[in-house]
Chains A and B, each alone.
Chain A
């Protein structure tokens, strides 16, 4: 009896004590998130791995185990991996996007009139529906023929400056630049907001001191702002690179991957859903995942060294 009581007390104490509390809180707080994560992400992910070793169609009626065949196909037939080449455009685009976002964020964080207005306008495209954005940009880059449609927005602007209209989306090479532009247009607002958040999380005291010392904008940015937000810049950069590797929505909706604008993810979708090779498509998704993991690994290494 007394042993029991004692044990109860210890249990109770343990629960009340901070170690016990830690464990119980952990379990309680993480229960729902982990269940949801398992259901909607982990199980499908495991299935994806399984599928990549199978030959199966979309309905999965009679899946067949074929070992590594899907991966062999992927790495021997150049039609699959060669689609990564257009990602280079987006890769460079993401640098421009980040640099631009950082510049804008820094300017917006300095003393400026109408700051909120500028911020709001620049952030706004991010809030728009992807399909809407793609429709807008098809209109934007349209080369009108004067018969079925009028000149698009960009060519109309060119005409204001007395320049000849350009077939933006039909010119190889140029078309990818246009798509990168649309991508930057859509996503830059979010980067700006993230950077502003990071910059403003720096103590206002530091700014005040800097202002008292008369630091100019560039010094202020380079010596105060940048070091403090370096980690978030690195994070955004890595995310942007990964985004470039897995770019999809903008080219898919605006050009449908035509005129040499296809990307690896578009190829993956075509393989999995147009050609119903869900197994091969899963293998492609796994390859993409591995590439992304490698980039993350490299980033982790570099980042550690710099520290």
Chain B
């Protein structure tokens, strides 16, 4: 009988939870943040790497010249004459909170529905990428949807309608290579964020006497200790959120961000370097994690029973001082209590040549089901166009707009000296290779499976077991090198270089 129960359990959770990490605490921004960086072999817009940095300081208005210059991109994006009246558009979304609980999505969409005389139906999925990937083994997966990260770039055309060519769309939008294959774009990121920073409570930090934002890992740990000394027993200086699993992936985001190198993945691949080299970015950030986690009095006492939901009001109220998170978390922390003004976002405590770096990354991309009716597809394009350009979604979520030159969210003031960059696309022939190695070796930089190296490292850190930490580093490097050297695409590409 027990077997049956367990089978039912397996059924009930297998695909549903498998991507989700820990139970209720599915992370909204993470899967997509990681998708970006993990697949940033296919990343974005080389030319305009720093263009966001200007805007970040000068929060200007939406009405800027770039917007007008690229208006033609919008005009040619869809053909309104093909859209018939009375259509129904099914949209799949991961934001169950906005479509089930608050119904805000439906409210925002009224404007669009009126304009095109159509009806938009939302379906929210708590375990989005898992459930939708399973649905995609049929033709029946909504009309407009967030493209799950499980879909390989080369398979995009089997599932999604082409939205335009890269060169054209790239004029107006960031991250156009995220869901691109053969210069055809299949998805437009519905929002972006800044990754590789830390959320912190400004009041606590300044009351503890830390006035300057730390620029090195040592300063950072020292600052945490200072907070501990000041508020012993009242404030947790650093909250690990270890039991969510996904929170550790934020550290990988930080690795990419602090490199300041939009080509970091390609560089590591082509130079045949190990993944974790002492003194280099991926190693440095993991070591920072180890150094924080091993100090049992600067993070929460029992990381296994941590509580992501509980941590939000706590950082808002100043009971938690710091958490590593993408900027997507800022709005959630601000909304979680009465002190939104206390929540700040700071760049990672690493300096390279006197400069701090941050990466702007994309969230899920919106794509159109290739099996939908023609008129519905056109309506879908209109919807995507409306969503990224006109809907209040991005500003409500305090996200970074995919539209070049749009206003940046206001919480980035600490980044005024920080240089932003967007990951560069992988050269042809190396597209998808990083992801393939990452996956086939089962290292899973962004995954949170039970045997994941980050989780084992953290567990070693909690026991202050540096030998195990080193052993895991070596094991990962070995697996990485073996898998890389067995990768056919990689070898083919390297052959062309020499």
State whether these chains interact: yes
Interface residues of A (CB under 8 A from B): 57-61, 79, 83, 94, 130-131, 134-135, 138, 141-143, 145-149, 152, 167-170, 175, 187, 190-191, 194, 236, 239-240, 242-243, 246-249, 252-262, 265-267, 269-276, 292
A148-B307, A256-B21, A261-B450 are contacts. A276–B301 as well, Cβ < 8 Å?
no
The answer to whether A59 and B150 touch across the interface, beta carbons within 8 angstroms, is yes
The answer to whether B243 and A256 touch across the interface, beta carbons within 8 angstroms, is yes
The answer to whether B455 and A143 touch across the interface, beta carbons within 8 angstroms, is no
Residue of B22, B159, B302, B314 near A142 (CB, 8 A) is B302
A110 to chain B, nearest CB (A): 24
Q: With a CB–CB cut-off of 8 A, which chain B residues contact A167?
A: 301-302, 304-305
Interface 1/0s, chain B 109-152, versus A by CB < 8 A? 00000000000000000000010011011000000000000111
Does B310 have its Cβ within 8 Å of any Cβ on chain A?
yes
Q: List 17 A-B contacts (CB under 8 A).
A: A57-B152, A58-B137, A59-B137, A131-B23, A131-B24, A142-B305, A143-B301, A145-B301, A147-B233, A147-B235, A148-B314, A148-B319, A255-B304, A256-B448, A257-B449, A258-B245, A258-B459
Q: Which of B2-10, B389-397, B398-406 is found at the contact surface with chain A? A: B2-10
The answer to whether B314 and A256 touch across the interface, beta carbons within 8 angstroms, is no
Residue of A58, A79, A145, A252 near B302 (CB, 8 A) is A145
Which 5 residue pairs across A and B have the least CB separation, nearest first?
A257-B450, A249-B9, A243-B2, A143-B302, A273-B18
Q: Which residue of A lies closest to B130 (CB)?
A: A273
Residue of B6, B10, B305 near A143 (CB, 8 A) is B305
Report the bound CA distance from A272 to B9 in whole Å.
16
Report the bound CA distance from A175 to B302 in whole Å.
12
The answer to whether B449 and A170 touch across the interface, beta carbons within 8 angstroms, is no
A62 to chain B, nearest CB (A): 8
The answer to whether A148 and B310 touch across the interface, beta carbons within 8 angstroms, is yes
The answer to whether A256 and B245 touch across the interface, beta carbons within 8 angstroms, is yes
Q: With a CB–CB cut-off of 8 A, which chain B residues contact A131?
A: 23-24
Q: With a CB–CB cut-off of 8 A, which chain B residues contact A239?
A: 1-4
A249-B13, A258-B459 are contacts. A270–B451 as well, Cβ < 8 Å?
yes
A292 to chain B, nearest CB (A): 8
Interface 1/0s, chain B 283-315, versus A by CB < 8 A? 000000000000000001111110100110010
Q: With a CB–CB cut-off of 8 A, which chain A residues contact B340?
A: none
Q: With a CB–CB cut-off of 8 A, which chain A residues contact B234?
A: 147
Q: With a CB–CB cut-off of 8 A, which chain A residues contact B23?
A: 131, 134-135, 253-254, 256
Does B439 have its Cβ within 8 Å of any Cβ on chain A?
yes
Interface residues of B (CB under 8 A from A): 1-7, 9-10, 12-15, 17-19, 21-24, 130, 133-134, 136-137, 150-152, 155, 158-159, 233-236, 239, 242-243, 245, 300-305, 307, 310-311, 314, 319-320, 439-440, 442, 444, 447-451, 455, 459, 462
The answer to whether A242 and B10 touch across the interface, beta carbons within 8 angstroms, is no
B314 to chain A, nearest CB (A): 4
Report the bound CA distance from A112 to B211 in whole Å.
71
Residue of B136, B243, B311 near A148 (CB, 8 A) is B311
Report the bound CA distance from A255 to B449 in whole Å.
11
Residue of B14, B302, B450, B451 near A273 (CB, 8 A) is B14
Q: With a CB–CB cut-off of 8 A, which chain B residues contact A254?
A: 23
Q: With a CB–CB cut-off of 8 A, which chain A residues contact B233?
A: 146-147
The answer to whether A59 and B439 touch across the interface, beta carbons within 8 angstroms, is no
The answer to whether B6 and A243 touch across the interface, beta carbons within 8 angstroms, is yes
Report the bound CA distance from A170 to B301 in whole Å.
10
The answer to whether B19 and A169 touch across the interface, beta carbons within 8 angstroms, is no
A8 to chain B, nearest CB (A): 48
The answer to whether B243 and A58 touch across the interface, beta carbons within 8 angstroms, is no
Q: With a CB–CB cut-off of 8 A, which chain A residues contact B7?
A: 246
Report the bound CA distance from A283 to B271 in whole Å.
36
A80 to chain B, nearest CB (A): 10
A167-B304, A169-B304, A170-B303 are contacts. A148–B448 as well, Cβ < 8 Å?
no
Report the bound CA distance from A153 to B21 in whole Å.
25
The answer to whether B450 and A148 touch across the interface, beta carbons within 8 angstroms, is no
The answer to whether B439 and A276 touch across the interface, beta carbons within 8 angstroms, is yes
Q: Which residue of A lies closest to B235 (CB)?
A: A147
B27 to chain A, nearest CB (A): 13
Report the bound CA distance from A276 to B2 in whole Å.
28
The answer to whether A258 and B243 touch across the interface, beta carbons within 8 angstroms, is yes
The answer to whether B18 and A274 touch across the interface, beta carbons within 8 angstroms, is yes
Q: Which residue of B lies closest to A265 (CB)?
A: B10
A187-B2, A253-B23 are contacts. A148–B302 as well, Cβ < 8 Å?
no
Given A135-B23, A249-B5, A267-B450, 6 other A-B residues pairs in contact with their CB atoms under 8 A: A131-B23, A242-B3, A249-B13, A257-B449, A258-B459, A267-B451
Q: With a CB–CB cut-off of 8 A, which chain A residues contact B302?
A: 142-143, 145, 167, 169-170
Report the bound CA distance from A247 to B13 in whole Å.
13
The answer to whether A270 and B2 touch across the interface, beta carbons within 8 angstroms, is no
The answer to whether A135 and B245 touch across the interface, beta carbons within 8 angstroms, is no
The answer to whether A147 and B451 touch across the interface, beta carbons within 8 angstroms, is no
B479 to chain A, nearest CB (A): 10
Q: With a CB–CB cut-off of 8 A, which chain B residues contact A149?
A: 307, 310
Q: With a CB–CB cut-off of 8 A, which chain A residues contact B440?
A: 275
Q: Which residue of A lies closest to B307 (CB)?
A: A149
Report the bound CA distance from A158 to B343 in whole Å.
37
The answer to whether A248 and B10 touch across the interface, beta carbons within 8 angstroms, is yes
The answer to whether A269 and B18 touch across the interface, beta carbons within 8 angstroms, is yes
The answer to whether A145 and B3 touch across the interface, beta carbons within 8 angstroms, is no
The interface centre, meaning the residue of B19, B234, B447, B450 with most chain A CB atoms within 10 A of its CB, is B450
B235 to chain A, nearest CB (A): 7
The answer to whether B304 and A259 touch across the interface, beta carbons within 8 angstroms, is yes
The answer to whether A246 and B130 touch across the interface, beta carbons within 8 angstroms, is no
Report the bound CA distance from A274 to B12 in whole Å.
16
Report the bound CA distance from A262 to B243 in whole Å.
14
Q: Which residue of A lies closest to B311 (CB)?
A: A148
The answer to whether A270 and B450 touch across the interface, beta carbons within 8 angstroms, is yes
Q: Which residue of A lies closest to B137 (CB)?
A: A59
The answer to whether A262 and B5 touch across the interface, beta carbons within 8 angstroms, is no
B287 to chain A, nearest CB (A): 21
Report the bound CA distance from A130 to B300 in whole Å.
27
Report the bound CA distance from A239 to B455 in whole Å.
32
A305 to chain B, nearest CB (A): 24
Report the bound CA distance from A146 to B301 in whole Å.
10
Report the bound CA distance from A113 to B134 in whole Å.
52
B233 to chain A, nearest CB (A): 7
Q: With a CB–CB cut-off of 8 A, which chain A residues contact B22?
A: 256
Q: Which residue of A lies closest to B5 (CB)?
A: A187
Report the bound CA distance from A255 to B451 in whole Å.
12
Q: With a CB–CB cut-off of 8 A, which chain B residues contact A243?
A: 2-3, 5-6
Report the bound CA distance from A134 to B24 in whole Å.
10
The answer to whether B18 and A258 touch across the interface, beta carbons within 8 angstroms, is no
The answer to whether A259 and B310 touch across the interface, beta carbons within 8 angstroms, is no
Report the bound CA distance from A236 to B3 in whole Å.
10
The answer to whether B314 and A147 touch across the interface, beta carbons within 8 angstroms, is yes
The interface centre, meaning the residue of A152, A257, A262, A265 with most chain B CB atoms within 10 A of its CB, is A257
The answer to whether A249 and B10 touch across the interface, beta carbons within 8 angstroms, is yes
Residue of A175, A190, A249, A262 near B450 (CB, 8 A) is A262
